[in-house]
Structure 1
Amino acid sequence: MAWEEQLFALFEDLEQQAEALADAARAPDLLDRGRAEYQQVSLASRLVASLELPLLLEVEGVGPLRGRLERVGTGWCLLSGDGGSAQDWIVSLAAVTGATGVSERSVPEVAWSPLTRLTLGSALRRLAEAGERCVLHRRDGSRLEGVLRRVGADFAELREPSGRLVLVAFAAIAAAQGEDA
């Protein structure tokens, strides 16, 4: 090997060593940057990446709910009943205390479809428009049965079978079920 080739080989080796040292020095910064970026990931963005997957959601006041994730909106999700149950659940994300079976990925909010921006109020209005009996499960574990009449900005109006009208704050709602409850 000529002296020029040896010199170029030496320089190449030194360059590779310098790159390896630079990568090693940069690794903690990249790890910190990754952690800082991950703090921007929301539960909803992880759930949007989990659409159509079978999940287990732990819901305050209700307990574990199993089913396939059909839709995610701003502050809520729609879970289709698991197995033989055709029961659909509208679940308030504020009442979700844990989730199993979710995707490792997340979808940033800017990539969500316009339908994903619908609120819990929008989902409850659909139940009210159907005019069917439903069950509202509250975060304290209690249940209200009846027909949703109207849905306001931050509450739903439920007419119980006795005729009593109850206003339920969205903040108190853990989940809602349709007529098959």
Structure 2
Amino acid sequence: MRWEDLFADLELQWEAVEAAELEAEIADRTRREAGYLRLLDRLRPAVGAEVRCLLRGGPTAGPAAVTGRLTALGVDWLLLSESGPAEVLVPRSSLLAVRGLPTVSAQPGHEGRLAARLDLRHVLRGLVRDRAACAVALLGGGQLTGTLLRVGADFVELAEHPLGGFARRGEVRSGWTVPLEGLAFIRRG
């Protein structure tokens, strides 16, 4: 055996070991970095895409499913546009699973200061301001229809009336106070 052949073989072995170590290090770093990802980071690249969400509770006792284009999201909510003018506001606490997310994730912590402050209560206050009639699906099953009147620190108040009507004195059947943790989703439109 020639010395050149021996050195070439050793060099190839060394390069193979280095390549294997590098590959193992990259895989380890990838797994470690995935540990820093939040659901928000997985959802951000999907804005504008069609997704399907499985939710806890809903109008029936079992899991509910809503499908639509993800149009906006905040730290604890997401908004889907269904076919037609309907929109569904989903509190993150009622989310069980999401299908249709891209394989890429957004960089953790880069949602911006404004998006970080736009929590579910802020969005619900917008519905109160609009005096929009909506259907409120509850986690334990059941559905309320009416107009949101007020948003507190951990609750929302609803004047119950038929969806086609308005929150006028003669049309309001009753009022409901719903803890935010009790919301499965809110459909408007």
Scaled by the length of structure 2, the TM-score of the pair is 0.80
Correspondence 1:112 to 2:105 = no
Distance 1:54 1:47 in 2: 11
Amino acid at match of 2:91: S
Q: 1:25 pairs with 3, 6, 21, which one?
A: 21
**Unpaired runs of at least 5, structure 2:** 59-63, 162-171
For the aligned residue pairs, the C-alpha RMSD in angstroms reads: 2.3
Equivalent pair of 1:71/1:116 in contact (CA under 8 Å): no
Match of residue 45 from structure 1: 41
Match of residue 3 from structure 1: none
SS at structure 2 position matched to 1:79: strand
Equivalent pair of 2:41/2:108 in contact (CA under 8 Å): yes
Match of residue 183 from structure 2: 173
- CA deviations on 1:38-87 (whole Å, 9 max, x unpaired) are 122122211111010011111222322111100010110010013xx321
Scaled by the length of structure 1, the TM-score of the pair is 0.83
Match of residue 130 from structure 1: 130
**Unpaired runs of at least 5, structure 1:** 1-5
Q: Percent identity?
A: 29
- CA shift at 1:170, angstroms? 1.2
Structure 1 outlier segments of 4+, above 4 Å: 9-16
Matches for 1:1-181 after TM superposition, within 5 Å? 14-62=10-58, 63-82=64-83, 85-117=84-116, 118-161=118-161, 162-178=172-188, 180=189
Distance 1:23 1:106 in 2: 27
- Tell me the number of residue pairs that the alignment of Structure 1 and Structure 2 aligns: 172
Distance 1:170 1:158 in 2: 12
